[in-house]
């Protein structure tokens, strides 16, 4: 449950649930600590809702975005249920970017049977087979959701298919899934990238499959390019090239949090070296863009 919001002086509570990336908003009436009734709230479409505010009379104000709509502020009336934007959504220059296609949602079955959720956006059939890019999110405690993404829109507009996965370690599916890439289990997330690439190949959407990722996503790009010959090229943007250096130089407050994720400098030095893209440079066969 995200975005829990209680009206200042009433028994109304608004909240959102994460349904495989999409937000479902509900309005509940409480009787003490118990929910008395609950109703769904109509939003502008299927997308992502955040920053919910609720008035005593049940009016909701929130931000909403989907793949074709940049984040905007909306009001939903309590009596009529009418929803309207509070900021002109057609104001330039954003309107020139809203040519993005809505993604499809898919399931990739990894080699070990784990189900990996993906969003994929394809160019028109007349432009296929097309180059494909698997775009890996950072974090790793993050989730790719169907919010507006001008980068993805520009790739699809250029005739490139884009696949956005939530490999194991991503949020949105509970603590167990989020921890399935910790320390030595990192290779499972890297192999998820391979299985997603094979899934794309099997559907014959594309003749080439490339990888793009920033921060932690860049680490996955480097490891996947080094371990598998399935991918043709990659983009490594602000990626983690060497985990020991990253852990040594991150802020003091952050180091124990990241060691719980990747391994400790004192006890896991060999693992950290093995999980660093720098260790796999000689195995990479193909062009890599590094930013």
Residue 127 sits at φ, ψ, to 5 deg, of -100, 10
Other beta carbons within 10 angstroms of residue 67's beta carbon come to: 23
Residue 177 sits at φ, ψ, to 5 deg, of -65, -35
Rounded Cα gap, residues 103 and 203, in angstroms: 16
pTM: 0.87
Instruction: Name the 3-class secondary structure at 210.
Output: strand
Give the Å distances, CA to CA, from 238 to 138, 154, 212, 216, 252: 10, 20, 11, 9, 20
Rounded Cα gap, residues 160 and 122, in angstroms: 7
- Name residue, tokens 């040594």: 248
* Secondary structure element (H or E) that encloses residue 106, with its range: strand 104-109
Question: Quick one: pLDDT at residue 32?
Answer: 63
Give the Å distances, CA to CA, from 274 to 215, 222, 251: 18, 12, 23
Name every residue whose Cβ is closer than 8 Å to that of residue 159 and which is 6 or more positions away in sequence: 123, 127, 130, 131
Residues of the chain under the 70 pLDDT cut: 1-5, 7, 9, 32-37, 79, 89-100, 126-127
Rounded Cα gap, residues 233 and 289, in angstroms: 8
In the predicted model, what is the mean pLDDT of the chain? 88
**Token code pair at residue 211:** 């990888």
């Amino acid at each position: 449950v995200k975005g829990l919001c209680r009206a200042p002086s009433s028994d109304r509570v608004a909240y959102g649930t994460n349904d495989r990336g999409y937000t479902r908003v509900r309005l509940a009436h409480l009787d003490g600590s118990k929910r008395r009734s609950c109703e769904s709230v109509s939003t502008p479409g299927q997308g992502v809702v955040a920053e919910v505010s609720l008035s005593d009379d049940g009016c909701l104000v929130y931000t909403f975005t989907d793949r074709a709509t940049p984040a905007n502020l909306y009001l939903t009336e309590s009596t009529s249920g009418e929803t309207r934007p509070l900021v002109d959504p057609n104001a330039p220059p954003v309107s020139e970017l809203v040519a993005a296609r809505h993604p499809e949602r898919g399931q990739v079955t990894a080699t070990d049977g784990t189900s990996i959720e993906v969003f994929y956006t394809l160019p028109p059939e007349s432009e296929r087979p097309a180059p494909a890019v698997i775009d890996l999110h950072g974090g790793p405690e993050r989730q790719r959701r169907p919010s507006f993404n001008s980068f993805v829109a520009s790739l699809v507009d250029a005739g490139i298919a884009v696949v956005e996965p939530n490999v194991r370690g991503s949020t949105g599916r509970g603590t167990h899934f989020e921890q399935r890439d910790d320390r030595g289990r990192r290779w499972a997330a890297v192999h998820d990238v391979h299985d997603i690439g094979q899934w794309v190949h099997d559907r014959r959407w594309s003749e080439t499959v490339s990888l793009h990722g920033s921060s932690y996503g860049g680490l996955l790009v480097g490891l996947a390019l080094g371990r598998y010959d399935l991918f043709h090229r990659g983009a490594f943007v602000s990626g983690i090239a060497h985990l020991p250096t990253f852990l040594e130089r991150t802020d003091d407050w952050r180091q124990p949090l990241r060691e719980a994720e990747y391994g400790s400098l004192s006890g896991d030095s060999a693992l950290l070296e093995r999980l660093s893209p720098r260790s796999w440079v000689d195995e990479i066969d193909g062009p890599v863009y590094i930013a």
